[in-house]
Amino acid sequence: MHAAPANSARRRPGSSRWGTRALFTLLSGVLLIVVFYLGGWLYWTVTTPLAVASQPPAAVAAFPGNGTGAPLLVSPDWLRQRQTSLGERLVIVDLSTLRRYERAHIPGAVHGWWQDTMDPYAHTYGRLFDMHSAPHGRAAILRSLGIAPDSTVVVYDDQQNQRAARFVWMLRFMGFQRSSVLDGGLAAWKGANEPVTAQWTSPRADVPLVTERKDVGMITTTSALKRMAGEPGVVILDARTRAETNDDLNGTIRTGRIPGAVWLPWNETTRDEAGRLKSPEELARLFQSAGVTPDKRIVIYGRFGVETGQTWMVLTLLGYQHVTVYDEGWATWAGTDSLPVEPMPAQPAG
């Protein structure tokens, strides 16, 4: 029996095969990373929305409830003048998608995320921050956007001003009366031949945490709405679109409406894709023909609380004095088995 040479090297069985596998794994990982980033870039390129199309310039209609010193709805011309006169005290908030903001926005506008206004601890999606779960939640949102106690705030979005109106509703609920929605948003701004930019604007970082003076009359709870349902002088207004009325949240809630509610979708009040409103006369006829009259107490609900702002804005502009929002929304009502529901009508009122 011959002994192996002393200087012979021992080779582990399969060692070359292990090295080949390791190299293959490494190359596969690199390839996956390249494909991932390339795919992300292609997805971003394809899905990035086109630039907002401009709308012909138009003055804001003479709504009886718009006010003068602190108007609820303002025109591009009004905003342009305040950009010069107010300086840092003017805060413009763009609630459009981030991709759209990065492509073009009003110079000086900061980007906000509309879902930041919702309480992450709420039992139902879409509710405003609750003071018990987040005592400074609403004030922290304002500070993150550079909004100080003496700020004048103008808000717009790319969803027909539904999100902007909700944000301004929150501001006025907190006591910020110098807060407005830009009529027609970026489309109207561009239609007035005003400049846009892709340059990112950082919010002011030196603003204090504001002290809010909330208007509790602007919000209604489930227990309060249950007591009011059916009372004379109270109109429960369902502001959901037709598609939203069919949404059962993946089978987790019932479909229908609160018994006796008047169904008038929020998008019935707009006249174009930019969210500019129909005339005061048209809107007054629309609501009054549905029995939603200024002498009544109006309670608005949507699928979620966050979807009620646009209807609140329209009624406020029309001069309605008793308008409140059911912030817990249809999702809460329909998800509570002890609360009654009834079928939706075939057509909206009005």
Could you tell me if 187 and 54 are in contact, meaning their C-beta atoms sit under 8 angstroms apart?
yes
Q: Give CA separation, 205 vs 137, 141, 144, 208, in Å.
A: 17, 12, 8, 9
The pTM score is 0.83
pLDDT in tens, 25-42: 666 666 665 555 455 545
Tell me the domains of the chain and their CATH numbers: 73-214 (3.40.250.10), 217-334 (3.40.250.10)
Residue 215, pLDDT score: 84
What is residue 55's predicted lDDT score, i.e. its pLDDT?
A: 80
Band of the pLDDT at 114, cuts 50, 70, 90?
Answer: confident
- How confident is the model over 291-318, as pLDDT tens digits? 999 999 999 999 999 999 999 999 999 9
Q: For 77-91, what is each residue's pLDDT tens digit?
A: 999 999 999 988 999
